[in-house]
Structure formats: structure tokens, C-alpha cells
Amino acid sequence: MICSVCGVNKATKLCDYIVGQVESVKQTLNETCDESLCVSCSLHIGGDYDFCPDHAETIKKELLMYGGASIEDNFKVPLAK
Ligand SMILES: [Zn+2]
Ligand SMILES: [Zn+2]
């Protein structure tokens, strides 16, 4: 798979930004952006999360909005320890 941002490098990551939730029979699953990203086009945050450039901006704005609280407090899923 090729990175959908630069179109050059091999994509090894997917954007983990949560865009919605999918109700399945047993559980509610988070639906993520899933944009394919290479290492240089992704923003790596916290435990094991990567974001596409668009969603990296969204995350940064959200963090500013909440006055610099830690990303763990604002992110919708618990970060892997
Ligand atoms: Zn790229
Ligand atoms: Zn994204």
C-alpha cells in the first residue's frame, strides 16, 4: 500500500482518529479514519497512535481548546500503556 498523503512512500500506518462508532451485535466499535500513511507523513502521539496531517491539526486544535491538558484526558479511547 502506498501512502495516501505523499503518494510516494510505502504506507506502514493508518490514521487512528475516531470518526464515528459502529454498533455491532456484541459491542460498539470505533470507526477510524484509516487513511494510509508512511512514517514521515504521520504524526505519532502517545502510546501507539498515528494521525494523518488533517487529523493531526484537529488534535492540536482540540488540545489548545482544552488548555493544554494531557492528550490522554481528551482522546476518546484509553492509550495503550
Ligand atoms: Zn507519505
Ligand atoms: Zn485521519
Domain boundaries of the chain, sorted by first residue:
13-74
pLDDT of residue 34 exceeding 90: yes
**Ligand 1 midpoint to CA 27 (Å):** 33
**Ligand 1 midpoint to CA 4 (Å):** 7
**Ligand 1 midpoint to CA 28 (Å):** 31
Helix, coil or strand: residue 48: coil
**Ligand 1 midpoint to CA 44 (Å):** 13
- Surface-to-core class of residue 52, CB atoms within 10 Å of its CB (0-12 exposed, 13-18 middle, 19+ buried): buried
What pLDDT sits at residue 80?
47
pLDDT of residue 21 exceeding 60: yes
**Ligand 2 midpoint to CA 33 (Å):** 5
Give the rounded percent of residues in the chain with a pLDDT score beyond 70.
80
| Higher per-residue confidence, 72 vs 54 | 54
Average pLDDT of the residues in 49-73: 79
Instruction: Please state, in angstroms and rounded to a whole number, the distance separating the CA atoms of residues 7 and 78.
Output: 31
- Whether pTM exceeds 0.95: no
What pLDDT sits at residue 73?
54
Would you give the end-to-end CA distance of the chain in angstroms?
Answer: 28
Instruction: Please state, in angstroms and rounded to a whole number, the distance separating the CA atoms of residues 22 and 10.
Output: 29
